[in-house]
Amino acid sequence: MKIQIEKKDLLNLIGKTQNVVEKRNTMPVLVNILLEATEDKLKVFATDLEVSLTDEIKTKILEPGKVAVSAKNLFEIAKKLSEGPITLIKKENNWLEIKQGKYLSKIVGVSAEDYPIFPTYNPQSFLKIESDLLKEMIDKTIYSVSNDETRYHLNGVFFEMNQTNGLKMVATDGHRLSLIHKKTNDIKINLNQGVIIPRKGLYEIKKILEGVQQPVDIAVEGSQFILISGTTVLMIRLIEGKYPNYQQFIPQKLPLKMSLNRELFLNSLERVSLLANQKSKAVLLNLSAGKMEISSNNPELGDAKEEIEVNYKGQDIKVGFNAKYITDILTSMSEDMIDLELNDHLSPGLVKPHQSDSYMCVIMPMRI
């Protein structure tokens, strides 16, 4: 294999693989990416056996061939080289020679035959989806994904799509739940049972969508979620297992309702929670007609409180929440006004954009 490629093209091609390759070294070969030079294209393959990515770019191929080399080493070297063409040559011992001007280096590679077989796909149909819509749905749910490895079925976002209800994403860690629901036309794929997309795969989707204006194609085939954007193909192994019946966690007909300014609430929470317990991040919301007092107390640090105006006419109530859970929700929104609905100090509350049901977040209270 011998190719000439512009520095910017090489960085763009292998930059997408940096977070895909395995970092824990459970299988040493997975720290590598596979480079394959064909007639006029350089293709790259990267996988950690859960997330797999392939991309290609047209470049000058002097000799076709393929080799697997360290993703990190090749990327770091390419970053430090000057702008302009770089020559990559595979040597007999699977080393890769990198040349530019008077610079020459060789990095250790492995045989392409030792690299895992890349997953193939042949779904019956793809759904074309606006990249901004998909990114928004991920941003509004991914923060609620559980970090508890023993509850593996909660380590991802539950994704449903069908012709009747459109697209839906749900995530929960047992303390909070976020759900976004979007109507969209032309859904030919029905996922009535839904699938669970793992957290790492979602972050890789977000990375690919950065700066992308055009729609992307998505599909589910067997145990794989597939996303295609231009020449980039991302394949994510879905989490096996049954997602809990999330509908039963969404409280209905909450009697205590209020609306308030999102940014005012967010800024106040961030200030007051600075003196909250560092582990629990507990704050107390003291609600009465027209106002909410937010307070925190930590014997080791001190205490803080702030009063903000709210549109509320219900009974007086005090309820404790983890401030980080609420700030995560408020940060994921862009609307000026939000609705907060409660039942009592022991029952879950509901936060959503003002007078909208397309996005809602359930949050469990804390005893303070």
Residue 329 CB neighbour total at 10 angstroms: 24
H or E segment to which residue 89 belongs:
strand 85-90
pLDDT of residue 184: 75
Element of type H or E holding 11 = helix 7-15
Decide if 285 contacts 318 (C-beta within 8 A).
Answer: yes
Q: DSSP letter at 232?
A: E
pLDDT of residue 150: 87
CATH class name, domain 127-245: alpha beta
At 263-312, the pLDDT tens digits run 999 999 999 999 999 899 999 999 999 999 999 999 999 999 999 999 99
Within 8 A by CB and 6+ apart from 167, the residues are 129, 133, 137, 159, 160, 161, 181, 182, 183, 184, 187
- pLDDT value of position 187: 66
Q: Which fold has domain 2-114?
A: DNA Polymerase III; Chain A, domain 2 (3.10.150)
What integer pLDDT is reported at residue 181 of this predicted model? 94
For the CA atoms of 56, 57, 58, 59, the dihedral, rounded to the nearest 10 degrees, stands at -110
Global pTM reads 0.92
CA distance 134 to 5: 33
* Contacts with 124 (C-beta within 8 Å, 6 or more apart), sequence order: none
Ranges of the chain whose pLDDT falls below 50: none
Domains 2-114 and 250-363 share a fold: yes
**78 contacts 10 by C-beta, under 8 angstroms:** yes
For residue 17, give the amino acid letter.
Answer: T
Q: What ranges do the domains of the chain cover?
A: 2-114, 127-245, 250-363
Q: What is the pLDDT of residue 275?
A: 95
Residues 34-56: pLDDT tens digits? 999 999 999 999 999 999 999 99
Write down the pLDDT at residue 183: 84
Look at the block and give the residue holding tokens 């994510």: 236
Q: CATH number of the domain at 250-363, out of 3.10.150.10, 3.40.50.300, 3.20.20.70, 3.30.70.360? A: 3.10.150.10
Determine the length of the chain: 368
Predicted local confidence at residue 188, as pLDDT? 62
| Per-residue pLDDT, 119 | 83
Could you write out the DSSP letters of every residue in 298-320? ETTTEEEEEEEE-B--S--EEEE
CB 137 within 8 A of CB 183: no
